Amino acid sequence: MKIGIMGGTFDPIHIGHLLLGEFAYEDFGLDEIWFLPNGNPPHKKAEDMKDALRHRIEMVRRAIQNIPYFKICLHEANESLHSYTYKTMQELNELYPEDDFYFILGADSLFTIEHWRYFEEIFPTCTILAAMRDDKDIEDMRMQINYLKQIYGAKIQLLQAPLLEISSTVIRKRAAKGLSVHFMVPDAVDEYIKENRLYVTKGKNKNGFRQDK
């Protein structure tokens, strides 16, 4: 099978993530997309992420529940260990030797990938599908893709999905102010955020969720 891996913090999952999954699925003829919530991402503050994993996972579950080719992969769902993409991808290749993996990411991730742990070891494990995002224009993307291909022998393809200026940060900020996040997240996620009062209180709330300034 051809499996797309949509890795993220998903704090919360939003329609930008889902559209990347959908376009990767169609344009590259993938069989399944696995949403991979990271447990304890090394690049985000541990104290900010504490206790939030359960909610992040539940929001992913609800967002994808009616789409048969979208699955959740809990390989990194461990709060007490840092999750590193090179390690996860090596392990997924060992667990599923018959399958081909496609790691889906946005432009911001493509431009910082050289700062990831043992990033060169990611390239033999998958094809990267890189989508445009925000301020990066297509020429910058093409140059970065060619650079990573030439220097590291990476397999990278441009993923052409609709440009959406949407981020989990904006959603958290709006929810914190009591503003609507309707249409930015699926209805089931919107309801979950409201029911659990995620992102709402001043300082850190009882769920340990981040509060953005």
Ligand X SMILES: O=C(O)c1ccc[n+]([C@@H]2O[C@H](COP(=O)([O-])O)[C@@H](O)[C@H]2O)c1
Positions that interact with ligand X (CB under 6 A): 7-9, 36, 38, 41-43, 83-86, 105, 109, 116-117
- Token output for 106: 């946005």
Question: If residue 132 lies in a helix (H) or strand (E), which one and from where to where?
Answer: none
Q: Does 169 bind ligand ATP (CB under 6 A)?
A: yes
Q: How far apart are CA 44 and CA 37, in angstroms?
A: 13
164 touches which of ligand X, ligand ATP, none (CB within 5 to 8 A by kind)? ligand ATP
Q: How many CA atoms lie within 13 A of 159 on its CB side?
A: 33
Q: Does 190 bind ligand ATP (CB under 6 A)?
A: no
Closest among 36, 31, 12, 3 to 170, alpha carbons compared: 12
Question: If residue 134 lies in a helix (H) or strand (E), which one and from where to where?
Answer: none
Question: Of how many residues is the chain composed?
Answer: 213
155 touches which of ligand X, ligand ATP, none (CB within 5 to 8 A by kind)? none
35 touches which of ligand X, ligand ATP, none (CB within 5 to 8 A by kind)? none
53 touches which of ligand X, ligand ATP, none (CB within 5 to 8 A by kind)? none
166 touches which of ligand ATP, ligand X, none (CB within 5 to 8 A by kind)? ligand ATP
Q: What is the DSSP letter of 146?
A: H
Q: What is the DSSP letter of 50?
A: T
- 37/87 with CB nearer ligand ATP: 37
Q: Does 186 bind ligand ATP (CB under 6 A)?
A: no
**Per-residue contact track with ligand ATP, 125 to 164, x per CB under 6 A?**
------x-x------------------------------x
Order of strands across the sheet that contains 70-72: 70-72, 32-37, 2-8, 100-106, 127-131, 156-159
Burial grade of 190 (CB within 10 A; 0-12, 13-18, 19 or more): buried
Which residue is nearest to ligand ATP, using beta carbons? Answer: 106
Shortest CB 134 distance to ligand X, Å = 13
